[in-house]
Amino acid sequence: MNELLADIAKRVLNVETLETRKMDSLDFHDVAVWQLRKALEAAYRAGAASVAPTK
């Protein structure tokens, strides 16, 4: 799961890592709302795809 979130952050938000690096210039990012929305949608889709359908 962490790997998937890191991939979304890197691909959509241009955030190199989700690890804390204890340096403001590395840990805080300016993100446009449309990028945030795209990242949240990607995470939602990934979560929905991971759930087995019930019958």
- Sole residue written with tokens 């979130």: 5
**Does residue 55 lie within any of the structural domains?**
no
**Does residue 33 lie within any of the structural domains?**
yes
Residue 32 carries which side chain, given as an amino acid letter?
A
- The whole domain housing 32 covers 2-50
Per-residue pLDDT 10s for the chain (55 aa) are 899 999 999 999 999 999 999 999 999 999 999 999 999 999 999 999 988 777 7
**Does residue 45 lie within any of the structural domains?**
yes
Q: Phi first, then psi: what are they for 54, rounded to 5°?
A: -105, 145
**Does residue 16 lie within any of the structural domains?**
yes
